[in-house]
Amino acid sequence: MPNREQTITDHQERLNRVLDHIRRHLDEPLNLTHLAQVACFSPFHFHRIFAAHVGETVSEHVRRLRLELAAHRLCHTERSVTDIALAAGYETPSAFTKAFARHFNMSPTRFKKKRRAAFFSQPIPLAMHDTGKEITMDAKIRNREETKVIYARRTGDYNKSAGEAWQAVCRFAGPKGLIGGGTAFIGISHDDPEVTPADKLRYDACLTVDKDIQPQGEIGVQTIAGGKYAVFMHKGPYDMLGQTYGDIYRQWLPQSGEKLRDLPCFEIYLNSPDKTKPADLRTEIWIPVQE
């Protein structure tokens, strides 16, 4: 019989698989039976195991992610409320409005106006040398192939969870010789801190791999989508990345004519924080845009 540690490892692998499936298929029907099949659990046990590990029931988790994605679409796309409501799985705009209001304590229309008003009322700094952060709003449009990575995910405040995720993935990869000169260090912040509660923020610490690696416990395997991206260079400390994202969405995006794809942004860390002064750190920010 498997021991307790083996069981925990097995459950982590299965839950990583189903969580990634949910993330990729939010605009599609997601029923409990199918998700249980993805996780290779019986439906009877699956919802209990999911809630115990994730802290939400399956339906609560899916509903929250769909509403948070809808909030992002309201603020950063020109899609109508009806279109966003249907994509979020609601049969009518009124049902969506009620659910949205329960979650965010305001209607979708008011949320959009309030967020955009707050967003565009902020100053637009082109450079902030006094804080060690320098912003260049000249985007480089690049096309990239899809990228296979191993990753560790942590949930919680980004300032803490990111470091924990990197410790976990490097602890796995280092002894196996998976970190070399060609390894890219990629971070995926799945959620907007202005929309998602701090204890629900998801961060993936990813390492590119060119070998056939199988998931193992908390270490998962995923593919970062290829296609067209707008790429920006962030110069300075990681804790200033949020401001750079704000400048991109507030200044560059409205003027660029580009439209976002429904995919997470990601960061490629070009130098090591262990060997580099915070002011000298260099991070590429990749924003997925439509072809």
Q: Report residue 255's pLDDT band, with 50, 70 and 90 as the boundaries.
A: confident
CA dist., res. 179 & res. 166, Å (int): 12
Same domain membership, residue 152 and residue 45: no
Q: Which of 92, 119, 146 is the last residue of a domain?
A: 119
Tens-place pLDDT, residues 86-100: 999 999 999 999 999
Q: Which domain holds residue 14?
A: 4-119
Pairing of strands 185-189, 133-135: unpaired
Same domain membership, residue 263 and residue 139: yes
53 domain-assigned = yes
Q: Which of 58, 86, 119 is the last residue of a domain?
A: 119
262 domain-assigned = yes
Q: Which tokens in the block code for residue 250?
A: 């507030």
Same domain membership, residue 110 and residue 48: yes
For residue 273, the Cα-to-chain-centroid distance in whole angstroms is 22
Same domain membership, residue 273 and residue 139: yes
* Closest among 228, 191, 187 to 204, alpha carbons compared: 187
Residue 250 · residue 137 · CB < 8 Å:
no
Same domain membership, residue 187 and residue 74: no
127 domain-assigned = no
What residues pair up with 220 in beta bridges, in sequence order?
Answer: 151
User: Which residues 6+ apart lie within 8 Å of 169 measured at CB?
Assistant: 150, 151, 152, 205, 206, 207, 219
125 domain-assigned = no
Q: Report residue 78's pLDDT band, with 50, 70 and 90 as the boundaries.
A: confident
Share of residues in the chain with pLDDT > 70 (%): 91
Same domain membership, residue 155 and residue 271: yes
Q: Which of 61, 88, 119 is the last residue of a domain?
A: 119
50 domain-assigned = yes
Q: What is the pLDDT of residue 288?
A: 95
Same domain membership, residue 101 and residue 28: yes
pTM value?
0.82
Q: Which tokens in the block code for residue 255?
A: 């003027």
Q: Which tokens in the block code for residue 221?
A: 């395997």
124 domain-assigned = no
Same domain membership, residue 258 and residue 155: yes
Same domain membership, residue 109 and residue 27: yes
Tens-place pLDDT, residues 261-283: 988 999 999 999 989 999 999 99
Q: Count structural domains, the chain.
A: 2
Residue 72 · residue 64 · CB < 8 Å:
no
Same domain membership, residue 229 and residue 153: yes
Residue 198, amino acid: A
Tens-place pLDDT, residues 133-186: 444 467 999 999 999 999 999 999 998 999 999 999 999 999 999 999 899 999
CA dist., res. 149 & res. 91, Å (int): 36
Looking up residue 247, the CATH number of its domain turns out to be 3.20.80.10
